[in-house]
Amino acid sequence: MKSKVTITALLSLIAYCVHLPAQTQTKTVKKGVKYDTIIVKHQPPVAKKPVAKPPAPVKPAEVVIPVPEFINQPYYYDTDGNKIIKLENANAIMATKKKTLGLKGAKQTLSMDANSSRTRFMAKKDIVFIIKTSGDVIDLTSYIKLYQFVPVDQKREVTINAKDGLLNDKDEARGKLINFSVKMISPDNYMVQLPDQLDAGEYGFVWVKNMELKEFVVYAFGIDWKSID
């Protein structure tokens, strides 16, 4: 009986071994899709260098010109320091001189004491003066004149008017009238601009609204050099 069981078990084992390869051959194995794997190294983004922008142009600050304290009185304007300087306040006498009882003519002169002014500047091309008016001046150049005075016998003198006589007079007029232009910079405030550079010498502004007067106020100054390098 025991031998029969052993033979039966042996036959079953053989049958199983024969059947196993068949099952292996008929089994279908699905193959998955193959993918290529690319490994990318992560790098932080490179920061771009900022492009330097040109600085915005700086507008120059507006220059506020000082206003004179007194009206109808010229002040020298220092353009470099943006300040005004008061001129010498002097009195001048108007005199009429006849020569040889008028045969050689006559001249009207304006003279003031001292042969030089205490207020002095060095000559430069852009000499500027500032005048504040009372507001009733229409044409400033018709009321105020700028003269170059000439030192004579410890005085400063300028010829205002001269008339020829019957006989020739070779005596030349002293000093001269200096032309200038006027520009309004604000209500009642004017800038006096000279067209040319002033020579060395003595000068003065004179109000000539009333030429019948015998005494006038002169706002005087002196120029020490003909030019500045």
3-state secondary structure the chain: CHHHHHHHHHHHHHHHHHHHHHHHHHCCCCCCCCCCCCCCCCCCCCCCCCCCCCCCCCCCCCCCCCCCCCCCCCEEEECCCCEEEECEEEEEEEEEEECHHHCCCEEEEEEEECCCCCCEECCCCCCEEEEECCCCCCCHHHCEEEEEEEEECCEEEEEEEEECCCCCCCCCCCCEEECCEEEEEECCEEEEECCCCCCCEEEEEEECCCCCCCEEEEEEEEECCCCCC
Query: Is the pTM value of this prediction over 0.75?
Result: no
Least confident among 92-96, 103-107, 211-215: 103-107
Listed by start position, the domains of the chain span 75-223
Residue type at 80 in one-letter notation: D
> Greater confidence, 30 or 12?
12
- pLDDT for 229: 45
- Using the predicted structure, report yes or no on whether residue 67 has a pLDDT greater than 80: yes
pLDDT single digits (tens) 75-90 = 999 988 899 999 999 9
**pLDDT tens, position by position, 129-186:** 999 988 776 678 888 999 999 999 899 999 988 765 444 444 567 889 999 999 999 8
pLDDT at 204: 96
